[in-house]
Amino acid sequence: MTSETMIDEHIAKLISEAVDLGGTSRLIDYYRQIQDEVKRLEMSKEVAKEAILQMFRETGLRYFRTDNNLVARADPRTTEHILVKEAKAMLPEDVLKKLLQETAFVVLSVRKVKAIGEVSGEDTSGIIY
């Protein structure tokens, strides 16, 4: 059994237990643990990335092939974006409506409770304790 299969089975078990409130609590705790681990890994990734880019800057290299047949490249890129606040102040509303595209999505946030009834200063009236 692979580690991915074990993780998938573990997650499936947690989700099936989430029918009751205790299971939901365990699932949210598990989600928070994953968030913390991802944050730790992202920080490690940034440190490694900066070390690689520093090596590229110091050596003048733009790509490097590893012994494991991986290739790292440093490709300069640029992006363009519109400053929405400034555009709203400068452009007529009909032009702005043609340019702006709104996308709706849901953000799940899981944070430590600072004190009973307080989650980072937010209204907690709908929270079950």
Domain ranges of the chain: 3-80
65: CB partners within 8 A, 6+ apart: 71
Q: For residue 113, what pLDDT is reported?
A: 74
Neighbours of 57 (CB within 10 A): 10
| 3-class secondary structure, 46 | helix
What are the contacts of 91-100 at 24+ separation with CB within 8 A? none
Q: For residue 90, what pLDDT is reported?
A: 93
Alpha helices, H only, the chain: 3-17, 21-59, 84-90, 93-99
For 62-90, how does the pLDDT look when each residue is reduced to its tens digit (9 = 90+)? 889 999 888 999 888 999 988 889 999 99
Report d(CA 48, CA 66) in Å as an integer.
15
Contact call for residues 53 and 64 (beta carbons, < 8 A): no
Confidence label for 129 from pLDDT (cuts 50, 70 and 90): very low
Contact call for residues 20 and 127 (beta carbons, < 8 A): no
104 vs 126 pLDDT, higher one: 104
End-to-end CA distance of the chain: 38
For 8-65, how does the pLDDT look when each residue is reduced to its tens digit (9 = 90+)? 777 777 666 655 556 677 888 888 999 999 999 999 999 999 999 999 999 998 889 9
For 91-122, how does the pLDDT look when each residue is reduced to its tens digit (9 = 90+)? 999 998 888 888 998 888 777 777 655 555 55
